[in-house]
Copies of this chain bind each other. A is one copy, B any other.
């Protein structure tokens, strides 16, 4: 539960003038932002940008996501009003997910970011080589990786 650990902003009164400063620790927008930019949030939003899908369709579309995380992320996005969930009490059950207008707007900007990063990847790769080379030269043979650089996930499936 990502929820705000600090006291919630229950008083709706003057929330507006305080603006939602992401740089402040207790800002509620931090939470939503993390849902969106999180490990699966972006991929799910991206997938939903292309239409309406059922649970297992989504699962197939977003490679590597487990039932649990898909369900969990979908709930977080639904709660934030980015995703609309429509369940039909038929048999077998059928549940459709699609973006809300708000979700689509956010997904659009997120994809703009993703596309830029992809376009510029050659530069990033070059920078990485330079950095690693300089490091191997000056430092010992330790060669630790920078931060959580290689997060990738195991192969599999």
Interface residues of A (CB under 8 A from B): 1-5, 7-9, 15-16, 19-26, 28-43, 46-47, 61-64, 69, 72-73, 75-82, 102, 105-106, 109-110, 112-114, 116-118, 120-128, 130-132, 142-157
Contact = CB atoms under 8 A, between A and B. Distances in A.
B38 A22 contact: no
A144 B1 CA distance: 8
A1 to B, nearest CB: 5
B4 A143 contact: yes
A113 B157 CA distance: 19
Contact of A157 (B28, B32, B38, B43): B38
A21 B66 CA distance: 19
Contacts of A73: 147, 153-154
Contacts of A149: 8, 31, 35, 76, 79
B2 A154 contact: yes
25 contacts: A1-B144, A1-B151, A2-B142, A8-B152, A15-B125, A20-B121, A25-B152, A31-B149, A33-B114, A34-B153, A35-B153, A35-B154, A36-B117, A40-B154, A41-B154, A72-B148, A72-B151, A75-B152, A76-B147, A79-B128, A79-B132, A80-B128, A81-B123, A82-B124, A105-B116
Given A105-B120, A154-B40, A157-B39, A148 B33 contact: no
